[in-house]
Structure 1
Amino acid sequence: MATLSIPDMSCGHCKSAVEAAILKLDPNASVVVDLDNRRAEITSTEPVQALINALDAVGFPAEPA
């Protein structure tokens, strides 16, 4: 599991975009978004850097929390 800090995530639309980006990369991933703390817990077989790259590509820079 990876916990990522996503500072630019602030609303329901952002949450949906983050979830969609991760699920596009790994359809079997589990994504739990915490808007209040601007974090996402992701369970995926993809490497953390691939998750970060997928989020960067849709405008949500992320880093390990």
Structure 2
Amino acid sequence: MLKLNVPDMTCGHCASTVTKVVKSVDAGAEVTIDLPAQTVTIASAADAAKITAAMDAAGYPAKAA
């Protein structure tokens, strides 16, 4: 389980994009978004570094929450 703080995630479109980015790394990932807290919780077998790198590339830098 990976929990990330994503301060640039401010709206529903952002949340949708973050979900798509995570699923591009691991299509089977379970993604839970908490928009008011600007956090995303990810259950995935993929390497956390790959997920955060993909999020950075998409314009949503993330840090461990």
Please give the TM-score of this superposition, normalised by the length of structure 1. 0.97
SS class of match (2:3): strand
Residue correspondences, number? 65
Query: In the alignment, residue 40 of structure 2 is paired with which amino acid?
Result: A
1:38 maps onto 2:50 in alignment: no
After the TM superposition, which parts of structure 1 deviate over 4 Å for at least 4 consecutive aligned residues? none
Unaligned runs of 5+ in 1: none
Scaled by the length of structure 2, what TM-score is found?
0.97
Deviations 1:7-59 (A, max 9, x none): 00000000000000000110000000000000000000111111110110110
What is the letter of the counterpart of residue 9 of structure 2? Answer: M
Question: Where do 1:1-65 residues align within 5 Å?
Answer: 1-65=1-65
For the aligned residue pairs, the C-alpha RMSD in angstroms reads 0.5
Identity percentage of aligned residues: 38
